[in-house]
Amino acid sequence: MHAPELSSVPAWHAPAVVAGSDVPAAPSGAGRGLRSLVSPALLTGGLTELAWVGAHALLYPLGARTEQLQVDGRFRPGTQPPGVRALFADDPLAAHVPVVLVHGLVDNRSVFTVMRRALRRRGFASVCTWNYSPLQRDVQGAAEALGRHLERVCRETGHERVHVVGHSLGGLVARYLVQRLGGDQRVDTLVTLGTPHEGSRWAHCLPTSLVRQLRPGSPLLRELAEPAPGCRTRITSIYSDLDQMVVPSVAGRCEHPDLRARNVLVRGVGHMSLPIHRGVLDEVAVTLAGLRDGSTDRPATAA
């Protein structure tokens, strides 16, 4: 199965992404409730999720090894398409800040096959992925390992700060790093995709030490709720109303009074489809380019 074709339109034409401070209320009435369950958007999202899960299963063996960081030598100022140049018009140096992609639970870098290519096509010169062990015992250990990896990326690229995009558990690992281990000194922007910031009810179904940390009200989540004054990292949490793994869906919001966090709701996108959805890709790109205010919720512009 071929990876979905990516749009080359300017990133600010992000379709289907809607931000808000609350998840919209469910339609009143049994008839409208039933229609919402079989709406075209939900059917499309469900079919896309099934198709991508199948494709991801085929790509999974290819992502077992951690990717080595390589700067894209094709990037030259003034030679990019107009949409790419416009994306970095306010800050051309933003295109050179390294971007590190962090996968979720029992996954690997193959989940970012589309996103990695999409970010490079949008002009980001240094994009790499990071794998951690599927046998990882806790979030804290994974966060420490991620911190060491980011230090290596900074040494190899000469940059003092990087961007991180974390899918699912990867977003929580990166948040723990910046909030509790001083990683905000290295991470300029953190974007999380389908991350259970407030836990997930599904975590009660598997009694492993790591999954227990994802239960609502767990010691880990209580630790993340503690004060975090002075955290420098800008955080954007992208969450979906069709996320099958983050239950309830509002648990995908990052709510902390000390964090510079904004929350972006996408509709009709499954958990595994978040890293390939065009609207999500555009929102990630404009956020990393510095075109989104990290302190407040702001609706994304629809095409």
- Angstrom distance (rounded) from CA 114 to CA 88: 21
pLDDT in the model for residue 254: 98
State mean pLDDT over 209-224: 97
**φ, ψ of residue 264 in degrees (nearest 5):** -120, 120
49: part of which helix (H) or strand (E)?
helix 40-59
How many angstroms separate the Cα of 159 from the Cα of each of 155, 185, 200?
7, 12, 36
Cα–Cα distance for residue pair 222/45, rounded to 1 Å: 33
Q: Which residue has the tokens 């890709």?
A: 281
Residues 6+ apart with CB under 8 A from 57: none
Domain boundaries, the chain: 31-71+91-288
DSSP letter for each residue of 132-182: --TT---HHHHHHHHHHHHHHHHHHH--S-EEEEEETHHHHHHHHHHHHSS
Q: What percent of the chain has pLDDT over 90?
A: 60
**Contact between 194 and 275 (Cβ < 8 Å):** no
CATH of segment(s) 31-71+91-288: 3.40.50.1820
Report pLDDT for 34: 45
From the list 282, 283, 275, the residue with the least C-alpha distance to 107 is: 275
Between 62 and 194, the higher pLDDT residue: 194
Please give the pLDDT value at position 4: 45
pLDDT tens digits for range 135-180: 899 999 999 999 999 999 999 999 999 999 999 999 999 999 999 9
- How many C-beta atoms surround the C-beta of residue 115 within 10 A? 25
pLDDT digits (tens, 9 = 90+) for 8-61: 334 333 334 444 434 333 344 444 444 555 577 677 767 776 775 666 566 556
